[in-house]
Amino acid sequence: MLKKSGSRRRWSAIITMTALVVTLPACSGSKESDDKNANDKSVSTAEIRDIAKQAYIYGYPMVDNYRIQYSYFQDEQSSQYRSPWNVLHSDAHVATPADTAVQTPNSDTPYTTLGADLRAEPLVLTVPEVESNRYYSVQFIDAYTYNMAYVGSRTTGNKAGKYLLAGPDWKGEKPAGVDQVLRSETDFVLALYRTQLFGPDDIDNVKAIQAGYKAEPLSKFLGKSAPAAAATIDFVVPQNPQDQRKSTQFFNTLDFVLQYVPVQESEKDLRAKFASIGIGTDKKFDISALPADQQQAFQDGLTDAWNEYNPLQAKIDKGEVVSAQLFGSRQMLGNNYLYRMAGAINGIYGNDQAEAMYPIFRQDSSGATLDGANKYVYRFAPGQLPPVKGFWSITMYRMPESLLVANPINRYLINSPMLPDLKPDADGGYTFYVQQESPGADKESNWLPAPAGPFVLIERLYWPDEAAINGTWKAPLPQKVA
């Protein structure tokens, strides 16, 4: 995900934020304040604690993004390894419980992934023509974890096309033969290709579409000599998901990541504050080299970050904050770092609302936490299936890992392509049985297996209709069976 482009850089200027976002004290932005670090006695432990809290909330999505992309594109020994940077990798299967790198993995669509390193030059991406009744999308996510662009059914249609993906330092113009230039704020971009699968017998058709996805350097597309290669990176080994939630080594990884995430005008003062405690300066940050009281201040700041975050998660669990508020572009999120953190925790790489909606169910209709010790039904009334132009699904995840649930029938979701095989109710509605044991042979077609303990249901609406977006249609709640 990250690059080496010369010396590490210092950052300096301001940020304004809305409700539920970290409130920042004034920062002078002067060279004197920029030159502070955690070893400078002019920064008190109380200040270190407060700034560390802000840095953790700001940096959590970027550090988690780095962890995932390190396993996908850098660590060849990882069970989650996909391909080298700038090389497309297509999976002709959908996610299973063996896919553990990403929380709440999508098991609806075979994925094609691309870890784009744009430091040396842009990439030209080719997509083939896709039949009009099949949904597909390419989601482009920058190193901040903002959704920076889309290609696909909703945005560019199902026609064939070529798109130039460029980093922040590229100053060229759109070449002939390219339909559109996609400009990123960061040199490292994750592209996620989703290709709809209609059923097991459709997999060869999906493979043919995936074979039409191409990525090539701009110089090759133009038939010119390649520019000098980008500098080699000494990647740091990321923490596992559990440790990055509790260990102060998180700040070492954040310091590494910030080298390669260019500062934006609205974040200059914020990044200067991080530099004042040693994070994101031109010197490598090492938490273990600090005095014990300063290390404790960082630990306390991490704890404070979670204490600030937890009330937001409670609102998400109650449906008071919805997924549409957690994912999107920088313009949409408005530098709302607490919401950006929530997006990473609840399902990193979620789509913009216009592309997909994600009703999340952690509780039943009575407000009790969903648990496999109980039995539930989930019912769509007649005419109330999710309104979409693409497709919909309901996926089961065990908690707290937010991963798919192994089960005897290898079913991890129920989705709209399965409707011909599902049994409707007498009135035309659909009832799904959400429980650990089989509901019986006569109901097993509509069974969504649950784990023994806590779980969460996530509904996905791809390319939702206006009725879903404006709230005219509302997702039903799971009902506990007495």
Q: What is the average per-residue pLDDT within 385-406?
A: 96
Question: Would the pLDDT of 375 be above 50?
Answer: yes
Give the relative orientation of helices 45-73 and 268-276 as an angle to the nearest 10 degrees.
110
29: left (phi over 0), alpha (psi -120 to 50) or beta: left
> What b-and-e string marks burial along 193-221, b requiring 16 or more CB atoms within 10 Å of the CB?
bbbbbeeeeeeebbeebbeebebebbeeb
pLDDT at 139: 98
User: Which is more confidently placed, 19 or 470?
Assistant: 470
Q: How confident is the model at residue 26 (pLDDT cuts 50, 70, 90)?
A: very low
Global pTM?
0.85
pLDDT above 90 (res 18): no
- The pLDDT assigned to 449 comes to 98
Residue 475, both tokens: 């997702």
At 331 the pLDDT is: 95
Band (29; pLDDT cuts 50, 70, 90): very low
pLDDT(85) > 50: yes
Contacts of 198 (CB under 8 A, 6+ apart): 134, 205, 417
pLDDT band at 194 (very low <50, low <70, confident <90, very high): very high
Sheet holding 161-166, edge to edge: 180-183, 161-166, 123-127, 214-217
Half-sphere exposure of 302 (CA within 13 A, CB side): 18
pLDDT tier for residue 406 given thresholds of 50, 70 and 90? very high
Phi, psi of 270, rounded to the nearest 5 degrees: -60, -45
Helix (H, G, I), strand (E, B) or coil at 267: helix
Question: What mean pLDDT, rounded, does the chain reach?
Answer: 91
Percent of the chain with pLDDT over 70: 91
pLDDT at 374: 98
Give the C-alpha separation, 172 to 296, whole Å: 48
Q: Dump pLDDT digits (tens) for 211-226.
A: 999 999 999 999 999 9
Give per-residue pLDDT as tens, 114-145. 999 999 999 999 999 999 999 999 999 999 99
